[in-house]
């Protein structure tokens, strides 16, 4: 049986056959997607304002990034607006100290005897002379006591004094901090254990055993200059009173639990160092009178001299661990060398600001201390990047900055990330900073600074709550995530 094929069906079949033949033949041009070029790729990278908005930080974010070799500015936002830098200020302090004191500078602590020495007996006084060493610890004092015995000294008939006048005496780095925080201790020409005392408590039945000591990994000498009393209350957790020759603390019994420990600040550094040295000397059979404090060391015979590590090594540790006391002491020492003397942290920071303008090419530095702890300090992102570019020319800062890991969503370090970062972080409550150098996959090196601050929220925090206010931890976590996203943007946009 033969079916008739209509004209419509015939035309449909013919078209279908033509289509099959067309697909069977080689195409006249490649069917691969057409490359859209680097500019299209760059357009897909998140805008900096979108990154900032997503962080939901409130307050202000300021940032700048430049080619580290040429100084050519690549991008910025609020870059000329002064913002609290927090511990990023320590990077400027490091450059200041390296330039003024020199990278091989060492701080010296001495034991000097006045009067004569006969048969191992010092007929005059023994003076522990501070030389501004921020790293002096209990181990170092113990080695000095041992060296004193090795010199044949067995008795001191005169007074035992501590000279602390190498630097001004300052009761606390930042008066706006709570009394009990260990990161804002006193400053003087002698420091011990970063001017902190170790407070430990243990419950035994219905009472507590309490110790106050100057512990190290080798020694645990008890301290008389710092005293603790447990009081039946819930709040405040700590109170402090100047007891003349002692730091008098109380702690709320309701806050202690079964046991624990923390470092408390020392407000009388010279008496603290003298107290500990007296104990260590006694262990070697050398009995000293209770220490007194003098500003200037008298002339005499140097019995023991101890030098610190080189300044470059001290600053590397300072940048890694962000030790406020180290920053303040090396900054004050640099100013004292430039000016001959220094009266206060604010005056010393003002001198550092002038140095930065003249040496680093900055224009709007307004730091009030050397550590960044003072919330009144201001720095622009442009100024920080300018300083980093200038420092890059002689490679002074980069080698002592800490590696900054890039993190995944679970805040774990990403191995073999294409961007490497060496930077200084800065963290206060509702303030977060990051500045340093980044190297993209293709080797492009950039200098950058990112400052975020919610000053309105920070200003509402009472002094008693400034150690760990509500919401500060999550705010700072979001700020750090934003910093990484900006760095990733710059690595993709300018390093490809």
Q: Which residues pair with 264 in a beta bridge?
A: 197
Instruction: Tell me the longest C-alpha to C-alpha distance in the chain.
Output: 140
168 and 301 both lie in a single domain:
yes
Q: What is the DSSP string of 63-124?
A: EEEEETTT--EEEEESTTS-B--GGGHHHHHHHHHHHHH-TT---EEEEEE-S-EETTEESS
Report the C-alpha gap between 112 and 122 in whole angstroms.
10
* 382-388 average pLDDT score: 98
131 with 94, same domain? no
Task: Write down the pLDDT at residue 9.
Answer: 35
Residue 424 is assigned to a structural domain of this protein: yes
Domain final residue pick, 275, 308, 341: 308
Q: Quick one: pLDDT band at residue 493, thresholds 50, 70, 90?
A: very high
Q: Are 301 and 332 in a shared domain?
A: no
Q: Is residue 111 scored above 70 in pLDDT?
A: yes
Query: What pTM was estimated for this model as a whole?
Result: 0.90
Please check the confidence at residue 35 and state whether its pLDDT lies above 70: no
Q: Average pLDDT over the chain, rounded to whole? A: 91
Residue 228, helix vs strand vs coil: strand
* Tokens of residue 295, six digits: 């500003």
Each residue of 269-299: pLDDT tens digit? 999 999 999 999 999 999 999 999 999 999 9
Residues 168 and 212 both lie in one domain: yes
Pairwise CA distance, residues 118 & 101, whole Å: 39
> Is 201 part of any domain?
yes
Q: Tokens at residue 370, please? A: 């050397």
Q: Which residues pair with 431 in a beta bridge?
A: 428, 453
Peptide bond preceding 116: is omega within 30 degrees of 0, i.e. cis? no
On the 0-12 / 13-18 / 19+ scale of CB atoms within 10 A, 262 is middle
Residue 172 placed within a domain: yes
Helix pair angle (345-359, 89-101), 10° resolution: 80
Q: Are residues 200 and 244 in the same domain?
A: yes
Number of domains within the chain: 2
Is residue 130 within 8 A of residue 327, CB to CB? The reply is no
Structural domain that includes position 166: 107-308
Mark whether 100 and 113 lie in a shared domain: no
303 in a structural domain: yes
Q: Can you give the pLDDT at residue 31?
A: 41
Indicate whether 4 belongs to any domain.
no
344 shares a domain with 408: yes
Q: How far from chain centre, in Å, is Cα 459?
A: 22
- pLDDT-based confidence at 415, cuts 50/70/90? very high
| Domain containing residue 438: CATH number | 3.40.710.10
Q: DSSP per residue over 12-45, as a string?
A: HHHHHHHHHHHHHSPPSS--SPPP-HHHHHHHTS
């Amino acid at each position: 049986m033969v079916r008739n094929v209509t004209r419509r069906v015939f035309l449909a079949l013919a078209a279908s056959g033509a289509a099959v033949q067309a697909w069977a033949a080689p195409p006249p041009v490649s069917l691969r997607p057409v490359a859209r070029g680097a500019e299209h790729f760059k357009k897909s990278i998140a805008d900096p304002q979108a990154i900032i908005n997503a962080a939901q930080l409130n307050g202000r974010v300021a940032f700048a990034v430049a080619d580290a070799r040429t100084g050519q500015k690549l991008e910025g936002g609020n870059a000329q607006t002064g913002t609290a830098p927090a511990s990023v200020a320590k990077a400027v302090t490091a450059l200041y100290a390296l330039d003024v004191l020199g990278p091989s500078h060492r701080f010296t602590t001495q034991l000097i005897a006045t009067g004569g020495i006969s048969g191992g007996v010092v007929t005059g006084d023994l003076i522990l002379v501070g030389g501004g060493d921020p790293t002096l610890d209990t181990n170092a004092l113990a080695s000095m006591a041992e060296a004193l015995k090795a010199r044949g000294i067995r008795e001191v008939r005169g007074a035992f004094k501590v000279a602390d006048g190498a630097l001004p005496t300052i009761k606390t780095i930042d008066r706006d901090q709570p009394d009990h925080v260990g990161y804002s201790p006193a400053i003087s020409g002698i420091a011990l254990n970063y001017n902190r005392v170790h407070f430990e408590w243990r419950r035994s039945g219905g009472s507590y055993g309490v110790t106050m000591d100057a512990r190290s990994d080798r020694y645990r000498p008890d301290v008389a200059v710092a005293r603790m009393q447990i009081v039946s209350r819930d709040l405040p957790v700590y109170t402090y009173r100047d007891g003349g020759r002692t730091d008098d603390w109380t702690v709320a019994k309701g806050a202690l639990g079964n046991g624990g420990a923390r470092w408390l600040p020392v407000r009388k550094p010279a008496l603290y160092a003298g107290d500990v040295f007296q104990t260590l000397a006694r262990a070697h059979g050398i009995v000293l009178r209770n220490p007194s404090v003098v500003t200037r060391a008298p002339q005499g015979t140097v019995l023991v001299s101890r030098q610190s590590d080189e300044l470059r090594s001290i600053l590397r540790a300072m940048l890694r661990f962000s030790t406020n006391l180290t920053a303040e002491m090396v900054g004050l020492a640099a100013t004292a060398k430039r000016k001959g003397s220094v009266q206060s942290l604010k005056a010393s920071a003002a001198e550092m600001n002038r140095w930065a303008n003249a040496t680093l090419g900055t224009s709007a530095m307004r730091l009030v201390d050397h550590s960044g702890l003072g919330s009144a300090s201001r720095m622009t992102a442009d100024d920080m990047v300018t300083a980093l570019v200038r420092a890059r020319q002689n490679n002074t800062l980069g080698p002592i900055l800490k590696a900054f890991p890039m993190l995944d969503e679970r805040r774990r370090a990403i191995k073999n990330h294409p961007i490497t970062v060496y930077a200084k972080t800065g963290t206060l409550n509702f303030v977060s900073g990051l500045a340093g150098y980044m190297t993209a996959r293709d080797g492009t090196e950039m200098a950058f600074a990112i400052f975020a601050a919610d000053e309105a929220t920070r200003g509402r925090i009472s002094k008693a709550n400034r150690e760990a206010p509500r919401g500060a931890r999550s705010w700072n976590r979001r700020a750090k995530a934003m910093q990484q996203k900006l760095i990733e943007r710059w690595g993709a946009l300018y390093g490809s």
